[in-house]
Structures are given as structure tokens and as C-alpha cells.
């Protein structure tokens, strides 16, 4: 089995086992885990890119969005 096939299998198992728990904090945890599996050692760079400040033309302010790793069910 290739690495990408194994990653896909791991993601499917994770979503099947934990994706139906109620609560946005649990669903956010599943999303975070999916990214960790899919991106591997590129995860930290991806999160850093997603959380850097963005200029909002409407408010004329910098906005920074954090990354929530959620809470395991």
C-alpha cells in the first residue's frame, strides 16, 4: 500500500470513528487531525500561513485568525 493510500485510509477511519460526535470543538479536532495526517511534516508551515495577519480593506485594520485544534471526543 502506498503512503498516500495509507493516509487516505487513516483519514477515513478517523472520520468514521470521530466525525459524528456533536459539538463544534469535536469536529474541529477531527479537521485538525485530518490536516495532520494529510500534510505530515508540512502541517506547521500550513498553519503558520493560515494564521498570519491579513489586511481588511473594509475596517482598515489587520486581522489575525488563530487555528483551533479542537478537543478530542
Query: What pLDDT is attached to residue 1?
Result: 84
Residue 70 lies in a domain: no
Mean pLDDT of 33-60: 96
- A 10 A CB-CB count for 69 gives 15
Residue 68 lies in a domain: no
* Domain around 30: 3-63
Mean pLDDT of 9-28: 96
Which pTM does this prediction carry? 0.84
Mean pLDDT of 35-42: 97
- A 10 A CB-CB count for 43 gives 14
Looking at every residue in the chain, the average pLDDT score rounds to 96
Q: Which residues sit opposite 62 in a β-bridge?
A: 55
Residue 37 C-alpha cell reads as 495526517
Mean pLDDT of 15-34: 97
| 54 in Cβ contact with 63 (< 8 Å) | yes
Residue 33 lies in a domain: yes
Confidence of residue 38 (pLDDT cuts 50, 70, 90): very high
Interatomic CA distance for residues 30 and 41, integer angstroms: 18
Amino acid at each position: 500500500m502506498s503512503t498516500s493510500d495509507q493516509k487516505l485510509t487513516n483519514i477515513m477511519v478517523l472520520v468514521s470513528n470521530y466525525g459524528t460526535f456533536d459539538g463544534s470543538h469535536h469536529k474541529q479536532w477531527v479537521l485538525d487531525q485530518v490536516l495532520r495526517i494529510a500534510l505530515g511534516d508540512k502541517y506547521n508551515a500550513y498553519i503558520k500561513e493560515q494564521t498570519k495577519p491579513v489586511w481588511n480593506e473594509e475596517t482598515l485594520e489587520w486581522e489575525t485568525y488563530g487555528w483551533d485544534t479542537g478537543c478530542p471526543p
